[in-house]
Amino acid sequence: DTAVSQTPKYLVTQMGNDKSIKCEQNLGHDTMYWYKQDSKKFLKIMFSYNNKELIINETVPNRFSPKSPDKAHLNLHINSLELGDSAVYFCASSQALGLVQFFGPGTRLTVL
């Protein structure tokens, strides 16, 4: 009964490929987020969806596209992967915007 789950946990791929990371929350939350933690350990927000509507869209290359099929899911699709995309990606959810966020376990993406 994991609250926020992500798949896969590890993803190793070649430059130029397209990949997706899936996120699901069973908390009944309205808001979901994607964060990127880079090699310097900065945890930076990328996107936020509230009730399937995009609310926060930070300066992220448009190779990254979030997709929210319903309130419980927020998937992250990445096109034309680059070496600099290697990082740990965390999904999170909160009951509403601005409230405490619950994080998934992270997906470690390695681009070779």
Binding site for other proteins (CB under 8 A): 4, 31, 40-45, 48, 50, 55-56, 58, 90, 92, 97-98, 100-106
Q: Are 61 and 77 in contact (CB under 8 A)?
A: no
Closest distance of CB 9 from other proteins, Å: 8
DSSP code per residue over 6-44 = EE-SEEEE-TT--EEEEEEE-S--SEEEEEEE-TT--EE
Both structure tokens of 41? 């350990």
Q: Are 76 and 66 in contact (CB under 8 A)?
A: yes
Nearer to other proteins, 17 or 52 (CB): 52
Closest distance of CB 30 from other proteins, Å: 12
Closest distance of CB 50 from other proteins, Å: 8
How far apart CA 25 and CA 34 sit, in angstroms, is 13
Nearer to other proteins, 14 or 40 (CB): 40
Nearer to other proteins, 81 or 90 (CB): 90
